[in-house]
Amino acid sequence: MEDVRSDGFEWLKVSQDKLNEIELEDVQLEPVVQKNIYKTIANMLCLEKPGEEFPGQAMVPTGDITCKGFWVENTKELVLYVWIGDQSRAIIVPQDGWNIRDDIIIN
């Protein structure tokens, strides 16, 4: 996981100084974007844990999910790297699909 940033700038074809890590707690997603991210994670969980391991659960179990966030300086896109078991996905959120929460304090 430590190489995510270097893999990201290579994959996105941006220089390393243009890919900035961001704390996911500081990000506010548009509802439709958030719903699509949840669908992607649910699909990943189905592939990782086939069958009926989550019967009756309304929420996705988050203990098995690792996610790192980066924003691309020149396009302001948000890049989310999600790992579940042996699977990983990069989810690109367009500039208009996210913003910095306005209730945080920047030091």
Residues 39-68: tens digit of each pLDDT: 998 888 886 555 555 555 544 455 578 889
Q: What is the dihedral of CA 22, 25, 31, 37, to 10 degrees?
A: 70
Has residue 69 got a pLDDT over 50?
yes
Higher pLDDT, 36 or 9: 36
Has residue 24 got a pLDDT over 50?
yes
Paired residues of 78 in beta bridges: 71, 93
For 73-91, what is the mean pLDDT? Answer: 88
How many whole angstroms from its chain centre is CA 83?
9
For 83-102, what is the mean pLDDT? Answer: 90
Counts for the chain of helices (H) and strands (E), in that order: 2, 6
